[in-house]
Amino acid sequence: MKKILFLIIVIFYSQSLFAGATSSVQLGNTSDIKSDEIYEIISGFSIFPSAYRQDKNKGFGLDFSINNIIGEIVGSRTKKKQTEFTNPVMMSIVTLTGKWSFLKETNKKPAMSVGTLFSMAFDLGNEINSDVDYQDINRSSTSLGFFLNVGKTIKKSKITLGFVSSGYSKIFSNYIQYYDSKDAAIIYSGLNFDYKKIKFNLEIIKPLDSEQSPFIINLRPLKKLPILVFSFINTNQGKSILAIINLRIPVYPPYTSDDLKKRNEKFKEKENFKNNQKKVKNIKLDF
């Protein structure tokens, strides 16, 4: 029964949450704006921030993000021989990220920012301690970290490399039952990939923890499922692929009516260009 419920939550909750979030950030007359245009978030990835503010300018930026960890799609444990399928986790990680972008990207210079992030973990279903083999793990409900990162745009894609101070990594013990995360510094990289019709976010996280030897890879498709993240976690205690519902909202600088108007105009220009290309092709075929 839990496995059936797990699959229903992943499919239904991802769609309903995205629809509600889209309506909550629209301002003014924005009926022609597509959801994937609004959610071109460049200020951060699934967990960590990028080197950019949402408007790409220098100055203070503030993001609010939620990671609802639905559960494990498939995984294995060091202590057990069998493979785990659709194992619920039901944890929510709420994060507030503040940063100062002190270097604006140019052709010769990268973007750079420094800041702090604070996260709180909330138990949504009393599943994180359901496995008797891992009930003695001390799971931190809060974590604080300071970060420094650098970013560069290559064509339309943006790459970020970053460092996070020790202390923040303890929050990762809330992602899966067997992960006993230790206090360790973190290095990470993020990619906002944008090439033709292919768009996705990729985040690679390496806590410098010699005891658990963990690393995390987060992949978020941006076309069909823009808030669903597939997360791969590997530690000495096990490895898993998780389903996570992720929502990141740039609180400051916020979206304004002018921002949405410009995005609307940009979208219409793209559509007109595509239509004109089709007309040219049809003319050539007629000849």
Q: Write out the chain's pLDDT in tens, 287 residues.
A: 444 444 444 444 444 444 444 433 443 343 443 444 445 789 999 999 999 998 888 999 999 999 999 999 999 988 887 788 888 999 999 999 999 999 999 999 999 999 999 999 999 987 888 888 888 898 999 999 999 999 999 998 999 999 999 889 999 999 999 999 999 999 999 999 998 888 999 999 999 998 899 999 999 987 767 789 999 999 999 999 999 999 998 898 876 666 666 766 776 787 787 777 777 666 655 55
pLDDT of 21 reads 42
Q: Answer yes or no: is 282 within a domain.
A: no
pLDDT at 154: 94
| Residue 280 maps to a domain | no
Q: Is residue 128 part of a domain?
A: yes
- Whole-angstrom distance, CA of residue 113 vs CA of residue 98: 10
Residue 102 lies in a domain: yes
Per the domain annotation, does 284 fall within a domain?
A: no
Number of domains in the chain: 1
Domain span holding position 223: 2-255
Give residues with Cβ within 8 angstroms of 78, minimum separation 6. 178, 236, 237, 238
Assigned domain for 220 exists: yes
- For residues 129 and 152, give the distance between their C-alpha atoms in angstroms, rounded to a whole number: 41
Instruction: Give the pLDDT score at 269.
Output: 81
140 backbone φψ class: left, alpha, beta (φ>0; ψ -120 to 50): beta
Tell me the pLDDT tens digit for each residue of 164-198: 998 899 999 999 999 999 999 999 999 999 988 88
For residue 260, tell me if it sits in a domain. Answer: no
Residue 213's φ and ψ, nearest 5 degrees, are 50, 55
247 in any annotated domain: yes
d(CA 130, CA 150): 40
Residue 259 is predicted with a pLDDT of 67
Quote the pLDDT of residue 256.
Answer: 61
Task: Give per-residue pLDDT as tens, 216-254.
Answer: 999 998 776 778 999 999 999 999 999 999 999 889 887
Give the residue from 188, 226, 184, 180 showing the smallest Cα distance to 206: 188
